[in-house]
Amino acid sequence: MLELNAKIIKIKTGEKSVILNETDAGEMMLHIHDRVSLKKDLQKIIAIVDVSDSMVERGEIGIYEDFLPFFAVSDGDAIELSVATPPPSVAFIRKKMKGGTLNKEELYRIVKDTVTHSLSELEVAAFLMAEQYVGMNMDEVEHLTRAIVETGRTIDFGETVVDKHSIGGVPGNKVTLLIVPIVAAAGLKIPKTSSRAITSPSGTADTMEVLAPVTFSLDALRKLLMDVGGYIAWGGSLNLAPADDLFIRIEHPLSIDPKAQMLASIMAKKLSVGVSTLVLDIPTGKGAKVEDFDTARALGNDFIELGRRLGIKVSCGITYGNQPVGHTVGPALEAREALLALTGKGPNSLIEKSTSLAGMLLEMNGVTPKGQGQAFAKDLLRSGKAYQKMQEIIEKQGGDPDVKPDDVPLGKLRYVVPAPIDGYVSSINNSAINAVAKAAGAPLCKGAGIMLHAKIGYAVKKGDPVLEIFSENEQSLKNAQMIALQRGAFVIEGMLLEELPGF
């Protein structure tokens, strides 16, 4: 055991880690990522080791700023330090890496140790990589889902609630802003807790935040649901399935999305709020997460089976995913387009997708007979009832219920990408569209993003606008222009595809 003096380091690492002087660490035979036990008075905690020869002196222990909520100390406090052994979950992760099957207790311990930061990010990454390349059977997925729920907060609304979710991967998927008011106008309760963007230019919460606040307490959300039948809020502040947020944060830089984790992630969040009926949107096509129908059907059947095990009735909609939904990508642009659609003026692709998915929920809950849900949803849209419900939701969430599409401010700096030749738009690159919108500043800059003036199948003349980029920053706009040109955000083909000269 070693006694060291605390030194507060104003850096956030996202882990329960401390920093030791290289000499002190060497004397205790400690290396980076080893574990130590810290004790001060009645407080005791396990931490991950970082090592430096300059940030702390001999006899000091650096306490990172985001460690303080777990271990309250001040500069100069005496800390007793001793070597700690890894938790058993490390062995369970190793077992999965070798191709083994994990039981309920082993998976619960991995998830629990992730939430308490008892595992390092490196160890969590190893678990996720094992999920990606070894895989999990449905028993393991069920146990993982329940563990994610049990290590977070749950909400009981006291009545039947329904939900819609998309696996993501397609830009401009603002259908939630239509589905929630349609379903609520039909008399169902739909508490929609959505995420902010992680890899996309706008999450549902980012888009809704253009129209109204999205951060609420649990009691406020209960009242919103009782008052108007639905809401669109950010789920990050509620501590629902916190393990999932930690897993996603590590998946992102690894560019992985394990199927088992996707299943558990989505279904855990639904189980944690007591959803009884779920419609799952699986966009399918070139550039989407799922590129072919066979894979989409298999994934959908896995969601249906997992839902059956959890007591959630699931239906899956395999939707067109070859290009963005509607014509806009980016928070303010998408909010504008959603308002247009709610007032009957939006693009047909957005209206068709939104009403088809909303119709599935209506049919599943007996609001309409089978096969009549979409027509009923369209009636709610055409009659203005869905728009009126959205106005109520916006007002109750603290926004302006009378906001019009043209009231939503967009980025003042703009650049139009023209058609290089006469022809037809033959393809749109979803990943390039995402990259351009993000480079322009979305989602942090709400007015940044892209407007698609032409989509697949559109005829264009040389010089016609195809993409319009919006930004608030000159350098961001230049970066977005460069990406749009370098990555080929769209392809235009003339009727003559190739010339084979004979002379």
* Degrees, nearest 5: CA angle 133-137-140: 100
Q: Which residue has the tokens 């003559």?
A: 496
Length of the chain equals 503
The residue type of 139 is: D
Pair of tokens at residue 175: 């259908």
Which among 24, 163, 244, 257 is annotated as catalytic?
257
55-83 burial string, b = 16+ CB within 10 Å, else e? ebeeebbbbbeebeeebebeeebebebee
- SS3 at position 358: helix
Long-range CB pairs of 217-224, under 8 A, 24+ apart, other chains included: 218/153, 218/155, 221/155, 221/191, 221/193, 222/155, 222/157, 224/191, 224/393, 224/396, 224/397
DSSP state of 290: B
Pairing between β-strand 313-320 and β-strand 275-284 as defined by DSSP bridges: parallel
Q: Is the dihedral of CA 184, 190, 196, 197 positive or negative?
A: negative
Long-range CB pairs of 482-485, under 8 A, 24+ apart, other chains included: 482/439, 483/432, 483/435, 483/436, 483/439, 484/417, 484/432, 484/436, 485/417
CA–CA dist 297, 287 (Å, integer): 17
CA–CA dist 173, 203 (Å, integer): 9
The residue type of 405 is: P
Backbone angles phi, psi at 379, to 5 degrees: -60, -40
- Bridge partners of 20, per DSSP, are 51, 61
Q: How many CB atoms lie within 10 A of CB 98?
A: 9
- Which residue stretches of 5-115 are H helix? 22-27, 88-97, 104-115
Pair of tokens at residue 300: 């959908």
- SS3 at position 431: helix
Pair of tokens at residue 172: 């401009």
Nearest to 273 by CA among 166, 191, 167: 191
Give strand ranges (E) for 173-269: 190-194, 230-234
User: By the 8 A CB rule, do 326 and 171 touch?
Assistant: no
CA–CA dist 288, 171 (Å, integer): 9
CA–CA dist 143, 465 (Å, integer): 51
257 counts as catalytic: yes
CA–CA dist 49, 20 (Å, integer): 7
Residue 443: is the preceding peptide bond cis (ω within 30°)?
yes
Catalytic residues: 257
